[in-house]
Amino acid sequence: MGLANKAILCLSCGVVLFFPGEGIIAQGGRADAVPMGASVNAPDPTKKALSPHNRFAYDVVRAAVALPQGNPQDRLRVLAAAAAVIAPIRPLMARIYSREGLRVEQDLIQRGEQPSTSMLGAGAVDCKAVQVLVESIPVRRVDAAEPSVVAAIAQCPAVRSSAQRLVSAGLEEKKLAPRATLALMERAGLSSLWSKEKFEKLFNSLPSDAESIGREAPNIAAMYATVSGAVDVGVAQKAGVSFLLWLGKLPEGGDRTMSVNVTSAAMKQVLGDKGYEEALASDVMARQVAQSAGGAAEISRPFEELASVLKAMDFAKEDRVQELEALPASQRAREAAASGFASGTGGDRKLASRYFDLAFNSVNLVWRERESTSDAAGIVQEVSEAAAQVDSLDALRRTRGLDDAAAQAIGMISVARVVASGEQTVTAER
């Protein structure tokens, strides 16, 4: 059955009508066009012919980007996902998405909000625009802008000087960006004068209100462990003791435990056992904090959840829907999607459909709590891709049925990625 015939059959389910070369028409036969601006959703003028898979992905991505997102964080998530998928297909369109995304990212930073993602991770970035982004970041916002600065340093080497000035100014105001600082140190060389100066400055700039940036403790510890061996022993000792004292102000928990473990181990390696004991002997409070090293540190995603998903293939022939309904929404979404993939690719489409019903219903719950869920967009992507590898058109229908337009868009783009990569064909029988 040809691609066009397959699309006509799909019209009967009220989801998507696809004609090669003519774009997508969505539910009810309505042209899916809610443009965010003519230049953003304009057709790419590139004349290179597209394969059926890439044409399908191109049209789906354009339709997804055209869906309205009132929340700028959601808009940024959608544009980043779209640019990453469309870049190999229509590079110019990816750059158009990137420019809009960088503007959204810049606006969020100016307001003191940490962007939910960064356009720079999607590729297809204009380094001149990235330079403008970095230079426009207020010093008082460098902590919120840190993910963007880290991505900028990786993608565009020319921004390094601007990023160094920004990070240095932030340290003067005790606005720390440890990941960005470490990224710059690695590019300048850990033994460079700039790196040594900023290492010492950072540990002299730890804010008195430790809890205000306590979540950054593991990143600061990682920076200490990476750079302490490249600075003078006396500097490493002083910085390590200062950091342990600062960690002692944090409440008990995974971030503190992990940071103490990493810092203590690094101090022992750099100072030696004798030097480490002498350092702790100089401050009784630092010794007390160091003595808590070795405890178990929590991680953000329980291992049991990941392990359970990885075992889904073991249950391909079992109906576990009722069992999965008792799980937390994020775990339920992931595990139901994994089971749906296992059942669907194993030939049981009926059972797979039940699993995907549960998975997408769970995605709606996860998305409603996205501001407090670390990887809501990743869960939408994971579930949508699993469904697409079983039946791409059914997956597209399911993503269009999600409650929120941003979740719909991210799901659609995920389906497009699977089809474009050749992991599924849009001509599969229903």
Give the helix ranges, DSSP H, for 136-253: 146-155, 160-172, 178-188, 193-204, 217-227, 233-247
User: Is the Cα torsion angle 22, 24, 26, 32 positive or negative in sign?
Assistant: negative
368-419 pLDDT per residue, tens: 988 776 689 999 999 999 999 999 999 999 999 999 999 999 999 999 999 9
Low-confidence stretches of the chain (pLDDT < 70) are 1-47, 123-124, 293-318, 373-374, 423-430
Residue 16 has what pLDDT?
Answer: 44
Distance between CA 199 and CA 242 in Å, rounded? 12
pLDDT score for 317: 52
SS3 19: strand
Q: Which one-letter amino acid corresponds to residue 81?
A: A
Q: Which residues contact 316 (CB under 8 A, 6 or more apart)?
A: 339, 342, 343, 346, 348
For the purposes of burial, counting CB atoms within 10 Å of the CB of 245, is it exposed (0-12), middle (13-18) or buried (19 or more)?
middle
Q: Taking Cα atoms as reference points, which of 394, 392, 397 lies closest to residue 423? A: 392
In this structure, what token pair is assigned to residue 246? 């600062």
Helix (H) and strand (E) counts for the chain? 21, 2
The residues near 233 (Cβ < 8 Å, ≥ 6 apart) are 270, 271, 275
Q: What was the pLDDT predicted at 45? A: 56
- Measured CA to CA, the distance from residue 385 to residue 382 in angstroms comes to 5
Q: What is the pLDDT of residue 63?
A: 96
The pLDDT score that the predictor gives to residue 37 is: 38
| Structural domain spans, the chain | 303-420
Q: What is the pLDDT of residue 325?
A: 87
Find the angle CA(420)-CA(421)-CA(424) to the nearest 5 degrees. Answer: 80
Tens of pLDDT, residue by residue over 271-293, are 999 999 999 998 999 999 998 86
Give pLDDT, residue 22: 37
| pLDDT reported for residue 62 | 95
Which pLDDT belongs to residue 126? 80
CA angle 37, 38, 40 (to 5 degrees): 70
Please tell me the pTM assigned to this model. 0.71
C-alpha closest to that of 126 among 147, 157, 152, 95: 95
